[in-house]
């Protein structure tokens, strides 16, 4: 996708407070059902409860890979929306700490960019379910943000 088209999509998403057009650019984000909620200057990503995302049906609990994928894609979308990157960032590495079971309920994530250079951006991601002060996972991701 051309940089001009992507920048236009980001601008329109912000104006309309509707980020579905950006999410649809990333097939996995669309598959697991990621949604974006704009709260003032902050963005919260939501993964609605879905039986398709369950890894342990006995608890039931979300699959760890779904939680990691949700957090990675939330960071990618966050960079795209707020850092003025004219293309989709490419993941370099991703490290996750699972802190609690992700039960069968809505899951939320919030991202913080620790550093954005010309080539690489470092993002911290926190995921929670019922209380933001009790995260189910934290992660760190590094993305290549210069032109591919």
Q: What is the DSSP letter of 48?
A: -
Res 84: pLDDT: 77
Q: How far is CA 112 from CA 83, 96, 117, 122, in A?
A: 11, 15, 14, 9
Print the domain residue range for 88: 5-144
Q: Taking the model in full, what pTM does it have?
A: 0.92
Choice between 140 and 1, residue whose per-residue pLDDT is larger: 140
CATH of the domain at 57: 3.10.129.10
Residue 8 pLDDT grade (very low, low, confident, very high; cuts 50, 70, 90) = confident
pLDDT in tens, 88-139: 899 999 999 999 999 999 999 999 999 888 899 999 999 999 999 999 999 9
Q: How many domains does the chain have?
A: 1
Give the burial class of 41: count Cβ atoms within 10 A of its Cβ; 0-12 exposed, 13-18 middle, 19 or more buried: exposed
Are the beta carbons of 21 and 12 closer than 8 angstroms? Answer: yes
Q: What is the mean pLDDT of residues 57-78?
A: 95
């Amino acid at each position: 996708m051309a940089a001009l088209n992507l920048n236009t999509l980001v601008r329109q998403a912000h104006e309309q407070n509707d980020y579905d057009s950006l999410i649809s650019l990333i097939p996995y984000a669309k598959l697991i059902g990621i949604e974006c909620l704009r709260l003032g200057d902050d963005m919260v990503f939501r993964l609605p409860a879905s039986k398709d995302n369950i890894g342990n049906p006995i608890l039931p609990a979300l699959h760890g890979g779904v939680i990691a994928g949700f957090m990675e894609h939330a960071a990618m979308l966050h960079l795209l929306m707020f850092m003025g990157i004219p293309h989709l960032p490419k993941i370099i590495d991703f490290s996750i700490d699972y802190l609690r079971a992700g039960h069968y309920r809505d899951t939320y994530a919030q991202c913080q960019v620790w550093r954005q250079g010309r080539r690489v951006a470092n993002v911290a991601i926190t995921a929670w379910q019922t209380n933001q002060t009790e995260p189910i996972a934290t992660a760190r991701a590094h993305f290549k943000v210069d032109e591919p």
